[in-house]
Amino acid sequence: MRRAVISAALAALLAAGVATAARAQDETPKLPRERWSFSGPFGALDLAAAQRGFQVYNDVCAACHSMNLLHYRDLSGIGLTEEQIKAVAASKTYDIIGDDGQPTTRPGTPADVFKAPYPNEKAAAASFGGSYPPDQSVLVNAREGGPDYIYAILTGYTDPPPGFKLAEGLYYNEYFPGHQIHMPQPLHDDQVTYADGTKATVDQMSHDLTTFLYWTANPEEVQRKQIGWRMVLFFGMMAGLTYAWKRQMWSGLH
Amino acid sequence: MIGLHKSTMKNPVIRWIDSRMPIFSMMQNEYGAFPTPRNFNYFWNFGALAMVMLMIMIITGVLLAMNYTPRADLAFDSVQRIMRDVNYGWMIRYIHQNGGSMFFIVVYIHIFRGLYYGSYKYPRELLWMTGVILLLVMMATAFMGYVLPWGQMSYWGATVITNLFSAIPLVGQSIVTWLWGGFSVDNPTLQRFFSLHYLLPFIIVGVVFLHVVALHITGSNNPLGIEPKGPQDTIPFHPYYTIKDSFGLCVFLTLYAAIVFFAPNYLGDPNNFIPANPLQTPADIVPEWYFLPFYAILRSVPDKLGGVVLMFGSILVLFVIPWLDTSPVRSARFRPLYRPFIFVLVASVIVLGMVGAHHPEGIWVILGRVGTAYYFLHFLVIMPLFGVIERPLPLPESISRPVLRPPGAGGGPLPGGATAKPMDKA
């Protein structure tokens, strides 16, 4: 059987070699690999960064991007207190049909979905020359590269290289496929004032915002990894026990 | 006692039931005392693992269906709601989502085991063929399941795969319209796929039953590929293989848990986090990893109908390998000429898998064609030919003989005393 395993390994190696040789050249630069609090099996969300990120989202992104899968109550997941959540929700106004059948408004509650800036995708697209700002709920999971990609886009605005023809109404971004992006540079130094005194550089805000967006896309992640360790340890231990048991049982065979 | 089954069960209540409906005797005979070759290696765990995976998928699937909404405008959000608002919904869904991948890993290893040790040969042809049916139904189930979250890859994958049927001459386009329930993949398609995705697993359960019935007539093959010659060659399934399968299961569940809890989206496609949009085609439409080799075969033929025929042919050819393989020897261990080519087959399937994940251009086109050619060459030429020209190694006299032979002893009959030595600590 050992020879079979070696042969299989050789076959896999051969296959891997073929893949390396055939890898196509990529025109966008390699994504910078950031350090994220949540990455790795021991990762845990940096709550302070996620809360700062929510502030950036609420003050900047929410002007154009919806987040339809999130409710204000979910914000307890990044450590906001009940009062803070109520206050955030109450600062939004929702159009409703009143008891008299007439359109009216009411303040938001923790049970409300994040207030969307546009009533629908078409309205959003109409304001942005036909291309609507994507919903941000699971945006991190929806892009190759995940948080590294989002961070790279947020910090990737530069002047186009000489000779690059930039279309009307588009912006140059190093990491965007094709380099021409509809979104103008969203973050500028000191655009928000952090309550905890952290200096709001583009880099810092991008990092915080990405942390927040990672959480909105994967709110279960911290609990998932905690349970995961218990599961892996449990089954690993059971594997050890059953192996010992099996050895003992089979040793009686003649 | 005329007309009643003669039950040997001790408990009177169980005996009363068993004499009228001998399910306890059946379990005892088929899973308790069932004589099983004593020389299985760990490749023989994967049948039991596949059975466990089927149960995990059905249980998590039923729970998911309680919270899922099969409507084009609600499906995507309902899946996300399961992830966020259903208690432990994320766990149920990630177990199910990654369970598909784990199921295919297990089944592919199970199939490799059958190919390597010649488990498809006389008298196990029907056992093998029911297995191929299981593979086909499983693929259909997995494909329809992947459509249900209604992300971009769900939608466009469904569009590409259902469009394959349009290659059928004359009636192709009508068949596609009939499959879709309309003129494009849309709400009717989603609803029927949901219905079928719920139905097919129970068909799988039925075919698994046939698979096990056939297994229990012929008995299991074993790494030597020779039939047990007497009680010294077999051991009861329980407890010896139940404990061995339990150990394998725990190792498997450790790996499965690691994927589910630490990298649940590793095998997924980011595009499926974007809701289905009929007006926007993703840059690359790729199926799930377990379909990539077949997708590569499909694309390696420049003609659409030819590609479809070869793709389905790559599975259908498995039905007839009991007759394509002309060698009287089952286990590749004793087939020096044929043995390396099984690994070439594995390599060609892996290469095809990588080809399926890339744009069909440059080197990938050539690799795809070479891989496809080898895949069919293996079954249609190498298998029939090598059985005739190959000189297999001498087969052991019996299963217990090589096990009992002390190290260093050559061939030939052993003195009577030596066979009585226990095999442990070997």
**A78-94 pLDDT tens trace:** 999 999 999 999 999 99
Angstrom distances, CA of residue A12 to CA of A6, A28, B163, B347: 10, 29, 33, 6
pLDDT, residue A128, reads: 84
Q: Which among A18, A121, A150, A222 is the top mutation candidate for probing chain B, defined by the most B β-carbons within 10 Å of its own β-carbon?
A: A18
pLDDT, residue A13, reads: 53
- Active-site residue, from B7, B154, B220, B400: B220
- The identity of residue B376, as a single letter, is F
**What distance in Å separates the CA atoms of residue B115 and residue B108, rounded to the nearest whole number?**
10
Distant-in-sequence, close-in-space partners of B15: CB < 8 Å, separation ≥ 6: B7, B9
Shortest distance, CA B148 to any CA of chain A (angstroms): 17
pLDDT, residue B425, reads: 38
Bridge partners (DSSP) listed for residue B73? none
Please report which helix (H) or strand (E) contains residue B188, including its range: helix B187-218
Cis peptide before A110 (omega within 30 of 0): no
**What distance in Å separates the CA atoms of residue B174 and residue B395, rounded to the nearest whole number?**
55
pLDDT, residue A16, reads: 52
pLDDT, residue A21, reads: 45
- Active-site residue, from B18, B233, B245, B269: B245
**What distance in Å separates the CA atoms of residue B325 and residue B116, rounded to the nearest whole number?**
12
Residues in chain A predicted with pLDDT less than 70, given as ranges, are 1-27
ipTM for this prediction:
0.89
Place of tokens 């296959």: A15
Q: Which among A214, A249, A250, A251 is the top mutation candidate for probing chain B, defined by the most B β-carbons within 10 Å of its own β-carbon?
A: A250
**What distance in Å separates the CA atoms of residue B163 and residue B150, rounded to the nearest whole number?**
17
Length of chain B: 426
Ranges of beta strands (E only) in A14-110 are 93-97, 103-107
pLDDT, residue B265, reads: 95
Angstrom distances, CA of residue A95 to CA of A133, B198, B396: 22, 40, 82
Residues in chain B predicted with pLDDT less than 50, given as ranges, are 404, 409-426
Top-level class of domain A25-70+125-246: mainly alpha
Bridge partners (DSSP) listed for residue A173? A157
Please, what is the Cα angle at B347 between B346 and B350, to 5 degrees?
A: 90
Read off φ and ψ for residue B280, nearest 5 degrees. Answer: -135, 110
- Active-site residue, from B288, B300, B348, B400: B288
The tokens for B188 are 């009717």
For every residue of A133-155, which 3-state class applies, written as one string? CCCCCCCCCCCCCCHHHHHHHHH
pLDDT, residue A2, reads: 53
B41: closest chain A residue by CA: A1
Closest residue by Cα to residue A53 from A183, A184, A195: A195
If you compute the radius of gyration of chain B from its CA atoms, what whole number of angstroms results? Answer: 25
